[in-house]
Chain A
């Protein structure tokens, strides 16, 4: 405790640096990949999003206006392929499921707020930072808004947000409804989602600044 009090006295800058190193330590001490690997996963993530240009405003806001379908096509394809690959990886012991709980109120209220915000900002929390990295000042302002959102959520979590989220109904997956037919369920799901990604008609909202096809 004495240590924490000492750090606080030195001012915010030192605290930020200390806590950033604390972040590295937390990752190093976790069984979830080395620091370098986690960083590398980020580099590839950022590279894919940048190289496909799905971080552009025209992509997500364009989809909200039904004038651009690149984002849903790419998302559905990634989900379709991953669902099949992941199932067989888990079956062979190479991975585990990490299911998020069904907190129904949180999912619905959060989903409505999230969807509306995504349409207006034209980014999601994964693509936003990539836009900032390529020089989009408006998205940087959105990210600062996000930090304040994170602050408010943390401050009022126990009093307001946690009760609003409601109780968890458990961590169900589609497989729980088709016991005994897991393999078939995964294959049908994966193939159907992949086919959907191909069948969604390709339309694009063009940005003259980057040229159009």
Chain B
């Protein structure tokens, strides 16, 4: 059994982190985790921020989330190597093999497609699980409740039809 924290400890810690981010003694802003993607796309594909309205709009949030992401990669790596000892290279998740298929190619193609549309979806809605669901609902924002409800329904419907959910 991998060493891990129970969900309620995770929930309490995450709540503490959200409050630290919101606090004027912390970052005085919510945590978000999807604006960094188009921000990095702008850097990697060498798009001129003066030319693209969207890059100009997201500059402050994108940069903030970009630095946070570097921290998250570091924190995730260190925790996986030294604490949970779950670091390993893998191409296909166990449950994908059991509930979808055993093909690595299929998993990689679906990953690419899902990754592509996930960012389009998040940017259309103006947030993701972090910015809308966690930070937004904590502020009782109507926009985040609409997003959360739609995501929940879409997630469950997709899960029902995309996977073979019968236990083998």
A89, B118: Cβ atoms under 8 Å? no
Contact A45 B71 (CB under 8 A): yes
Interface magnitude class on chain B: 35 or more
Chain B residues near A134: list those with CB within 8 A.
76-77, 80, 86-88
Cβ–Cβ contact A173 & B43, under 8 A:
no
A48 to B84: give the CA distance in the assembly, Å: 11
The listed residue (A16, A48, A126, A151) touching B13 by CB distance below 8 A is: A48
- With contacts A52-B10, A111-B154, A125-B37 taken as known, whether A103 is within 8 angstroms of B63 at the C-beta atoms is no
Which residues of B have CB within 8 Å of A144?
112, 115
Determine if A111 and B146 form an interchain contact, defined as CB atoms under 8 angstroms apart.
yes
CB distance from A37 to the nearest CB of B (A): 7
> Do B116 and A149 touch (CB < 8 A)?
yes
Q: Check A58–B93 contact: CB distance below 8 A.
A: yes
Task: Report whether over half of chain A's contact residues are helix, strand or loop; otherwise say mixed.
Answer: helix
Contact present for B123 and A110 (CB under 8 Å): yes
| A91 adjacent to chain B (CB < 8 Å) | no
User: A149–B30 Cα gap in the complex (Å)?
Assistant: 23
Number of A-B residue pairs, CB cutoff 8 Å, is: 529
CB pair A145 B72 closer than 8 Å: no
Please pick, from B54, B55, B118, the residue contacting A149 in the complex, using a CB distance under 8 A.
B118
Q: Which residues of chain A are near B156, meaning CB under 8 Å?
A: 64, 66, 119
Q: Which residues of A contact B23 (CB under 8 A)?
A: 89, 94-95
C-alpha gap A132/B62 in the complex (Å): 20
Known interface pairs A44-B17, A134-B77; A81-B11 also in contact (CB < 8 Å): yes
Query: Is A43's CB within 8 Å of the partner chain B?
Result: yes
Q: CB distance B43 to A61 under 8 Å?
A: no
Within 133-185 of A, Cβ neighbours of B (below 8 Å) are at 133-139, 141-155, 157-158, 161, 164-165, 171-175, 185
Q: Are B14 and A146 in contact (CB under 8 A)?
A: no
**Residue in A83, A115, A128 whose beta carbon sits within 8 Å of that of B155 in the complex:** A115
The residue on A at minimum CB distance from B110 is A120
The verdict on B60 contacting chain A, using a C-beta distance below 8 Å, is yes
Tell me whether A129 and B69 are in contact (CB under 8 A): yes
Check: A124 CB closer than 8 A to any chain B CB: yes
Task: Give Cα A130–Cα B121 distance, bound, in whole angstroms.
Answer: 20
Residue in contact with A119 in the complex, picked from B72, B149, B159, CB distance below 8 Å: B159
Bound Cα distance from A106 to B137, whole angstroms: 17
Contact, CB under 8 Å: A74 / B14: yes
